[in-house]
Amino acid sequence: MIRAVMFDLDGTLVHSAPGVLASFRETFATEGVAAITAIDEKVIGPPLMTTLTRLTGIVDSARLDQLARTFKATYDTDGVLLADPYPGMIDVFRQIVDGGGQAFVVTNKRLGSARIIAERLGMMPFLAGVYALDSYSPPAAKKRIVLANLLTEHRIVPQSALMVGDSVEDADAAAANGVRFAAAIYGYGSPLTFAAAAPTVVLQRLADLPAALAGL
């Protein structure tokens, strides 16, 4: 039986693309930087510095730090307000908690902005925790490390947990920790992304999760 469900945030619980992409565009306009690849949903998911490098080709750490500061300023003020929940999100949380389970967010998004979104959209009363790379000092290098820390901190048996996400990194985090994986193919990842991951569950909609949990 699944007793703990760990959710990615962007592309899994919330449609965050409008705010994220608008903030990247505003950042580059402000800083006079031209993107070298399309600013579209395919860039959503990795940590901020990774995405900035991918979008600009810049490797100079000082320049990247400046871009990151500008992005954070615009995203934490305006971008977070454009994140919308996928249909049925709160009901999914409620069914997990009412059934005696726990729900967590595990994200590459910065902890501060993740919490702003979670609070604005009414998630916090249902969550046992929100975890991000920068929940730790120094920040964790990968999501698999964050998930490992969460399992240890909450004394969760991996076999009783499920990671829900829309990226290869989510699948990797689950596999590295012996946790089952639910592929959210409605998110920003391609269904082909999960071909090698052999997910336990494939979700066409977030609202399908409670029924899937009942069968595990």
pLDDT at position 192:
61
Q: What is the CATH number of the domain that holds 143?
A: 3.40.50.1000
Return the CATH number at 72.
1.10.150.240
The per-residue pLDDT for 191 is 64
What average pLDDT does this structure show over 62-74? 96
Instruction: Specify burial of residue 127 (Cβ count, 10 A radius: 0-12, 13-18, 19+).
Output: middle
Structural domain span for residue 205: 4-15+84-214
Q: What Å distances lie between residue 112 and 30, 75, 119, 148, 201, CA to CA?
A: 23, 11, 11, 21, 30
Share of the chain above pLDDT 90, in %: 90
Question: Are 124 and 156 contacting, i.e. CB atoms less than 8 angstroms apart?
Answer: no
The 10s digit of each residue's pLDDT in 8-46 is 999 999 999 999 999 999 999 999 999 999 999 988 888
pLDDT value, residue 195: 65
Q: Is the pLDDT of residue 94 over 70?
A: yes
pLDDT confidence of residue 189: 78
Let me know whether 69 and 126 are in one domain.
no
Taking only the tens place, the pLDDT of each residue in 147-200 is 999 999 999 999 999 999 999 899 999 999 999 999 999 998 766 667 667 899
Q: What pLDDT, in 10s, does the model give residues 131-144?
A: 999 999 999 999 99
Q: Phi first, then psi: what are they for 172, rounded to 5°?
A: -65, -40
Task: Count the neighbouring beta carbons within 10 Å of the beta carbon of residue 130.
Answer: 21
Same domain, yes or no, for 153 and 110? yes
Q: What's the rounded mean pLDDT across residues 92-99?
A: 97
Query: What pLDDT sits at residue 45?
Result: 82
143 and 96 within one domain: yes
Q: What is the pLDDT of residues 100-118, one digit of tens each?
A: 999 999 999 999 999 999 9
Is the domain of 11 the same as that of 67?
A: no
- Same domain for 90 and 74: no
Is pLDDT above 90 for 128? Answer: yes
**pLDDT at 197 (0 to 100):** 74
